[in-house]
């Protein structure tokens, strides 16, 4: 049994990770500024409500801990990260700086920083049909919005702590992680959850609005595959950034069509061309992660979206 801290344990990836590690028999402490409480069953040994933008709270959270999974961040979907810049940079740089420092001071054995595909250059993502992004493609730097710059800066800070402080660290770069028990309304939800909610709320027959022209492309990784890959990376000897995602490229229109088919409804799509849509195309190259970890996603997009839609539909029905 290890003593593990999961920051951001009140959020989507963090709560799923805490539950997995807890079910494996570890002592799991979660820390967050707020808790969504979508997961109903017991999923941790200790729950701390802390503002991790303060060093003293990070020191409290990491005390007596062997491993840190640092998911805490001020973040959201494309509508959020294209409209909020200063808070994202300010909050996340403070959280990550103090979590790194506290982990060193409290002699944490291993630290994981959750990075993002938003670190990759905009100039490699200007058309829908794109090649998968390789880890080395990150430079020359031109990240996506303030959120991407903050993630890339923190990757460099983690490297500095590895070199100067001897911190044993891991850096997954996540590509559009989705699944049940995540944010699905309020402005911070990402595309799969937003579309699932729109379809769930729509009448039958009905209409939903797609942000952008629907031709922008992404790849999506289901939460269970993400957790499996992240734990494999944490337990490995690999200390450099590594893609965790899928290499199946789909358009936003195709994503919506899959969800509509799952719902069984007759839905017409309209397009809001003035809404933010981010880069035109983004896909993950999984060559390195397959080589290093022997990991690749197993859950198909259709299977994952079925689970996600059923959960969000249930939540929408409860709200009604």
| Residues involved in catalysis | 147
> How, if at all, do strands 46-49 and 27-32 pair?
parallel
Burial code of 145-156, b = ≥16 C-beta within 10 A, e = fewer? bbbbbbbbbbbe
Tokens 């794109």 found at? 130
| CA atoms within a 13 Å half-sphere pointing along the CA-CB vector of 227 | 20
Region label for 56, one of left (φ > 0), alpha (ψ between -120 and 50) or beta (otherwise)? alpha
C-alpha distances (whole Å) from 266 to each of 86, 199, 298, 316 are 41, 10, 30, 18
Burial code of 249-285, b = ≥16 C-beta within 10 A, e = fewer? bbbbbebbbbbbebbebebebebeeeeebbbbbbbbb
3-state SS, residue 63 = coil
Give the DSSP letter string of 129-170.
S-PPBPGGGG-S---SHHHHHHHHHHHHHHHHHHHHS---EE
First-to-last CA distance in the chain?
43
Residue 15's closest CA among 192, 181, 222, 185?
A: 181
Length of the chain: 320
Longest CA span, the chain: 61
Do the Cβ atoms of 126 and 280 come closer than 8 Å? yes
């Amino acid at each position: 049994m290890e003593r593990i801290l999961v920051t951001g344990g009140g959020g989507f990836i963090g709560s799923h990770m805490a539950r997995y590690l807890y079910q494996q028999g570890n002592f799991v402490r979660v820390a967050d500024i707020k808790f969504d409480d979508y997961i109903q069953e017991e999923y941790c040994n200790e729950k701390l409500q802390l503002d991790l933008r303060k060093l003293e709270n990070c020191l409290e959270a990491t005390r007596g801990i062997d491993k840190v999974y640092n998911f805490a961040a001020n973040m959201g979907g494309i509508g959020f990260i294209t409209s909020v810049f200063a808070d994202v940079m300010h909050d996340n740089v403070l959280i990550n700086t103090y979590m790194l420092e506290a982990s060193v001071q409290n002699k944490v054995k291993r630290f994981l920083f959750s990075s993002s595909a938003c670190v990759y250059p905009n100039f490699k993502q200007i058309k829908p049909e794109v090649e998968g992004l390789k880890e080395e493609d990150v430079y020359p730097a031109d990240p996506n919005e303030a959120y991407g710059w903050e993630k890339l800066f923190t990757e460099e800070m983690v490297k500095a702590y590895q070199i100067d402080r001897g911190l044993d660290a891991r850096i997954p770069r996540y590509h559009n992680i989705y699944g049940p028990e995540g944010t699905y309304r309020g402005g911070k939800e990402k595309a799969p959850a937003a579309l699932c909610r729109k379809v769930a709320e729509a009448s039958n027959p009905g209409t939903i609005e797609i942000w952008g022209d629907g031709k922008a492309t992404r790849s999506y990784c289901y939460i269970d595959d993400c957790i499996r890959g992240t734990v494999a990376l944490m337990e490995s000897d690999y200390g450099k950034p590594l893609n965790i995602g899928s290499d199946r490229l789909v358009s936003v229109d195709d994503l919506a069509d899959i969800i509509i088919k799952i719902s069984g409804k007759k839905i017409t799509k309209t397009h809001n061309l003035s809404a933010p849509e981010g880069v035109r195309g983004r896909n993950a190259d999984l060559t390195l992660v397959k080589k290093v970890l022997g990991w690749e996603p197993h859950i198909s997009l259709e299977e994952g979206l079925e689970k996600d839609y059923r959960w969000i539909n249930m939540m929408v029905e409860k709200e009604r």
